[in-house]
Structure 1
């Protein structure tokens, strides 16, 4: 795909995933995610040809005007959509597949000073919600959804939903709870399982059950003192 064909696809992706987009002119002049990706493609082209300083200068300029930092060495597939984008950081050895959506405050970073591959690899059709962090060289499979504020430190298989700190898989190859868009990308990252809430509900139900058992035992004792006082 040529340069203009890739730019056209980047613009079309925004219309597909952001209902706020009203015109091509608006996308070209007012969408920082589009600006950041466009500058990254130029910087990455230069970086692949052995240049270092100029690509980094383009990256730093892009960060200054968009709030999005993408290292020139990062490999980005087609159809990346960065929504809003402020605070997004994508590290040098990051690899991003096709049709990936990233929201503001996301970090695709490393975990130390190790050399070589030290940033994550994302598959196709991945959604990384606001404030999520994916750290280290692990692979995130295709069709994965990472919940807002999650911190992912381990590999994630295909077709999973991850939430929490540290991130845990809460759904895998399960029944969908909502229809997904025609292109197969589920952008409704506000509708995620809540494992903490579910645990609290389970504990509440257990407490009610135990209190009922204690009340039944108190009736059997038929004494002035309750079982709770005896214990």
Structure 2
């Protein structure tokens, strides 16, 4: 768990800084940034949730994160290392959600299942690695967001998003594919 928390701390700081500047910022964020505090409280609550005797403590820690940072992340949510909350206000991540590593989530984002549906349509979002979800976006239901995808501000995602896709709108539509550093489209790698 220590390595995961360290990856979360590092994700909030620009890696291009000098080593001294980088670690000074990591320590500063750990001490003074509510978004980082919320992530650490989530990690602790998630660890407590895995053991039935400490499960009530998991919900106390979740409540502390709501009060302290304005973010509710259910302890049963599965989130990989490197979670970066850009700002901690109004973020909701529900219990069945799975998020890969190095996710970047802005304020106002809601990620959860569609509780109004039953049967095969019900389910929880699965979000890949290195995904960016911009402010006030909503990811709802049994959707999959591929690796390196970008969800634009105020998008409503109710359908799958391909890897390297950029989606926008309500409901979200694919508007373009991200390009690699060499300028080629990401879907032309196999050519």
TM tier, shorter chain? 0.7 to 0.9
| C-alpha RMSD of the superposition | 2.6
Using CA pairs below 8 Å that are at least 6 residues apart, which structure has the higher relative contact order? 2
Correspondence list, 1:43-54, <5 A? 43-50=45-52, 51-54=54-57
1:212 aligns with: none
The number of equivalent residue pairs is 175
2:153 aligned to which of 148, 157, 160: 148
Instruction: Say whether residues 1:135 and 2:140 are aligned partners.
Output: yes
Length-normalised TM-score, structure 1 = 0.68
- Alpha carbons of 1:17 and 1:86: their partners in 2 closer, same or farther (altered >3 Å)? farther
Q: TM-score, normalised by structure 2?
A: 0.82
CA deviations over 1:176-211 (Å, ceiling 9, x no partner): 6998xxxxxxxxxxxxxxxxxxxxxxxxxxxxxxxx
Residue 136 of structure 1, CA deviation: 0.6
Q: What is residue 40 of structure 1 aligned with on the other side?
A: 42
Between the aligned partners of 2:80 and 2:10, the Cα distance in structure 1 is 15
What SS does the aligned partner of 1:23 have?
A: helix
* Residue among 12, 15, 21 paired with 1:14: 12
Shift of 1:30: 1.8
Note the residue ranges of structure 2 that are not aligned, 5 or more in a row. 184-191
Between 126-135 and 38-47, the greater mean CA deviation after superposition:
38-47
Cα displacement (A) at 1:115: 8.5
Quick one: which of 147, 150, 174 aligns to 1:169? 174
User: Which of the pair is proportionally richer in strand?
Assistant: 2
Residues 20-49 of structure 1: CA distance to partner in whole angstroms, max 9, x if unpaired?
A: x86334201221221111111111112112
Q: Which runs of 4+ in 1 moved over 3 A?
A: 113-117, 174-179
